[in-house]
Structure 1
Amino acid sequence: MTSHASLKRASCLSAGALAMAIAGAAHAVDIELGDTTASLYGFAKLDMIYDVDNELGDLAARPRILIDGQRGSDGHTTLHAYQSRLGFRTATPAGGRQLVTRVEVDWFDNAPEGGDLRLRHAYGSWNGVLAGKTWTNFGSRLGKTPTIDLAPQPGQSKIGRKAQLRYSWGQWHLALENPDPEDYKDGVAINWLNPKNAQHPRGVYSEHGDAKTGLPDLTLRYQSRAAGVDYSASAMLRQLEVESDDGPSIDDSATGWGLNLAARFRASDRLTLRGALTYGDGIGEYLQNNPSAPGYLSQDEVETITAWGANVGMNLRAGPGAVNLGYGISKADLDDARDAGLAGVEGANEQFEALHLNYVWSPIERVSYGVEAGYHTREVVDGRDGDALRLQGMVKYHF
């Protein structure tokens, strides 16, 4: 822990909807090609980061926070442009409906270190059927407080994209999703707690070599609006399986599940409130910044891990921009894994928290500036904890 820790603590879709989102994009270069409207869009963004404590990466990787007994240097400056984005989308009348496609990339692969090209979105949608990669159908972005740091606040549903086949009717959305997690490789558990390997010193789990993805994940979401409140309710089911004939024969599976509630309320023309609750057993990466894996292997049996999270936030328009304040927490229950004597469990991540305060403004259209302070904490099973303060600024040019 650093000497100033106490001071910091005190101071610190339906196809129609998709088509409308494409057609109504504020920052895009539109081209008419026969019946097709094609749009090129994106932005160039510079992130300027100062980590008051140890370096957390190009985005705030909370498992990197140093805890009691760990040592490292304080004060690190990072400038990068990896969040810069380029996208292409189309909308075409087809069979009396809109056929929508979208492909989008940035340079944030292998996060929390950027620099490699990453496919963010690649999908098509027609007549209520979406196929490709886009935002997971579990949860929604209604509870997401805008942050300058690319790392979302913990506790909400997964703010990430997965390959999927989705069907939408009215306010209901049902999807089969890729069962492989796509988390940041140094962010949270990749898949399974592996009893054969020691715990990574920064709390990152290794994947069990015999983990199997036999079935796609199933997600269901209902999203609507009532009494001025936008809200969503979601559920998820998944299979966690290990199968191996090498050495002792292993063939066992367990069912993981998750629930999410999210809401956004426009209290006035200037003030918007939002929040979300997420809970599940074997939920894994579907809980944003889950400290733990979805499960582990104990005596040749798959055991699931319960985890929960919550976040709240506000957006207040002020002057040429808006103030955003948000808090999030995610926590895993590792008591059973501890009782089972799992290797390295005493140093396993158990809780993450984050508090963000920022101001983002636009002096003219297509130009955005922002400043942010982010306070992050990490706690492990044996009670050790740590915190980190990150200061960040940005310049963003849209086209």
Structure 2
Amino acid sequence: MTQHTNLKQFALSSFGVLALLVSNTSVAYEFEIDESTVSIYGYTKLDIIYDFDNDLGDTVDRSAPRLDGEEGSDGHFTMHARESRIGFGTATPVAGSTLKTTIEGDFFSSDGSTFRLRHAFGEWNNIIAGQTWTNFAGFISGTPLISFTGPTGRPAVERQTQLRYTVGNFSTSLEDPAAEGGVVDSPGAKSQLPDLILRYTDTSERFQYSVSGVARYLEFDTAGIESPSSKDTGIGWGVGLEVAFDVNDALTMRAGLTHGDGIGGYNHGNPQKAPAFENANGGLETIETTGGTLGASLAAGPGAFNIAYSKISADLDDNPNFSSNDNAYEAAWINYIWSPQETSRISYGIEANWNKRETVDGRKGDASRLQGMVMYSF
């Protein structure tokens, strides 16, 4: 496998270093059980982290940078292996087609030690059912990073429960409305309909692109919770665009743009994940959000240099209750990720990361991180 192919596999997988193993089955172990092909894949990953300012967490908490003027300690070191994961897959001939199943997990649970379910889905005759990547994301704008958090502003690279149908490059899905901020900021928040998502993706040429859209039914009803009660409904929507261009065998450029009103968490890294709120008049008011990311990867030596920048903002000015909330995040990364020439199962990396946040009332803060990794894939 060439280094350029390795680089593209990184970019088309997850928003962190999900490694080559997910999209390159030659890395997985395979064996036969009756008519089924069973594969086992995964990796162990050591993250070595130094935060020059305040502690940003095991994975970067975008709301963590200390605001200017606030007191706090600087310089925090940590190491962890929480991103390590394992997955199981099967492929079985069924009625003239192939039934595929996947179950995968890692240890990025809230307590840091419990096994966390990432994927659990089946696929047959172009139908996917279960929990996996939201259909809103196309992965094309994802620059390879060591940071588990990844660039903001692009279509959300998140996993949620869904029923999806794919024909060629086109896919449509019904997805869990609560998973990506479907809950209105109100004590009477409720979900009555699934989110509807459409996406078209083409990765067949040097220029690759993905266009996606989401429509959401938003609702709250405080009957039995507040007196007097109030209720209202609204429509949330969002669009995503991702592009990548292989300039030559060594250089790939990427970009992603996401915009919506009531889009919530479908805009990756949204400062206000709730898509709407109950205003002072007892009505539902949607939150408009815009974000984008730019990135580039350059193959060099046994690996590649990667650089990325992203920014996202949410319009919260109409609600005085949000004056101290974050309404914008900005971040930049530069790294070098490489593997020994004799194998792609071992990966090393070093990355510098800068993060900034801004609140509705204009306060700002930023923090920087240096992160290294050692990853062994199987």
* Equivalent residue, structure 2, for 1:285: 265
Secondary structure of 2:108's aligned partner: strand
Using the TM superposition, give the Cα deviation of residue 190 of structure 1 relative to its aligned residue in structure 2, in angstroms.
Answer: 8.7
Provide the C-alpha distance between the structure 1 equivalents of 2:25 and 2:308, rounded to a whole number of angstroms: 26
* Equivalent residue, structure 2, for 1:382: 361
Q: Percent identity?
A: 45
Provide the C-alpha distance between the structure 1 equivalents of 2:312 and 2:24, rounded to a whole number of angstroms: 35
Provide the C-alpha distance between the structure 2 equivalents of 1:387 and 1:256, rounded to a whole number of angstroms: 31
* Equivalent residue, structure 1, for 2:161: 163
Instruction: Render the CA deviation track for 1:324-363: whole Å, top value 9, x for unaligned.
Output: 10001111111222xxx3x2x2111111011000111111
In the alignment, is the contact (CA less than 8 A) between 2:182 and 2:275 conserved in 1? no
* Equivalent residue, structure 2, for 1:12: none
Q: Say if 1:191 and 1:354 are closer, same or farther in 2 by CA, change over 3 A.
A: farther
Opposite residue 347 of structure 1, the aligned amino acid is S
Instruction: Render the CA deviation track for 1:197-228: whole Å, top value 9, x for unaligned.
Output: xxxxxxxxxxx332101111111001114752
The counterpart of 2:278, out of the listed 297, 300, 304, is 297
Secondary structure of 1:53's aligned partner: coil
Opposite residue 354 of structure 1, the aligned amino acid is A
* Equivalent residue, structure 1, for 2:210: 232
* Equivalent residue, structure 2, for 1:336: 318
Using the TM superposition, give the Cα deviation of residue 96 of structure 1 relative to its aligned residue in structure 2, in angstroms.
Answer: 1.6
Using the TM superposition, give the Cα deviation of residue 173 of structure 1 relative to its aligned residue in structure 2, in angstroms.
Answer: 0.5
* Equivalent residue, structure 1, for 2:79: 79
* Equivalent residue, structure 1, for 2:176: 178
The counterpart of 2:188, out of the listed 210, 213, 216, is 210
The counterpart of 2:219, out of the listed 227, 231, 241, is 241
Provide the C-alpha distance between the structure 1 equivalents of 2:23 and 2:146, rounded to a whole number of angstroms: 26
Opposite residue 371 of structure 2, the aligned amino acid is Q
Secondary structure of 2:361's aligned partner: coil
Q: Say if 1:164 and 1:296 are closer, same or farther in 2 by CA, change over 3 A.
A: same
Residue 266 (str. 1) matches residue 243 (str. 2): no
Opposite residue 155 of structure 2, the aligned amino acid is S
Provide the C-alpha distance between the structure 1 equivalents of 2:159 and 2:296, rounded to a whole number of angstroms: 24
* Equivalent residue, structure 2, for 1:92: 92
Instruction: Render the CA deviation track for 1:283-328: whole Å, top value 9, x for unaligned.
Output: 0100000111311101211100000001010111110011110001
Q: Say if 1:109 and 1:23 are closer, same or farther in 2 by CA, change over 3 A.
A: closer
Instruction: Render the CA deviation track for 1:92-120: whole Å, top value 9, x for unaligned.
Output: 1212211110000000022xx63332110
- Unpaired runs of 5+ residues, structure 2, are 1-20
Using the TM superposition, give the Cα deviation of residue 46 of structure 1 relative to its aligned residue in structure 2, in angstroms.
Answer: 0.4
In the alignment, is the contact (CA less than 8 A) between 1:58 and 1:114 conserved in 2? no
Instruction: State how 1:95-174 maps to structure 2 within 5 Å.
Output: 95-110=95-110, 114-174=112-172
* Equivalent residue, structure 2, for 1:199: none
* Equivalent residue, structure 2, for 1:309: 291
Provide the C-alpha distance between the structure 2 equivalents of 1:376 and 1:102, rounded to a whole number of angstroms: 34
Provide the C-alpha distance between the structure 1 equivalents of 2:112 and 2:312, rounded to a whole number of angstroms: 24
* Equivalent residue, structure 1, for 2:4: none
For normalisation by structure 1, the TM-score amounts to: 0.85
Provide the C-alpha distance between the structure 2 equivalents of 1:83 and 1:227, rounded to a whole number of angstroms: 32
Provide the C-alpha distance between the structure 1 equivalents of 2:182 and 2:83, rounded to a whole number of angstroms: 22
Secondary structure of 1:62's aligned partner: coil
- Unpaired runs of 5+ residues, structure 1, are 1-20, 183-188, 194-207
In the alignment, is the contact (CA less than 8 A) between 2:31 and 2:37 conserved in 1? yes
Matched positions, count: 352
Provide the C-alpha distance between the structure 2 equivalents of 1:23 and 1:375, rounded to a whole number of angstroms: 29
Opposite residue 282 of structure 1, the aligned amino acid is G
After superposition, the CA RMSD in angstroms is: 1.6
Q: Say if 1:57 and 1:34 are closer, same or farther in 2 by CA, change over 3 A.
A: same
* Equivalent residue, structure 2, for 1:222: 200
Of 229-238 and 114-123, more deviation after overlay is shown by 114-123
For normalisation by structure 2, the TM-score amounts to: 0.90
Q: Say if 1:87 and 1:106 are closer, same or farther in 2 by CA, change over 3 A.
A: same
Secondary structure of 1:280's aligned partner: strand
Provide the C-alpha distance between the structure 1 equivalents of 2:196 and 2:127, rounded to a whole number of angstroms: 15
Q: Say if 1:42 and 1:68 are closer, same or farther in 2 by CA, change over 3 A.
A: same
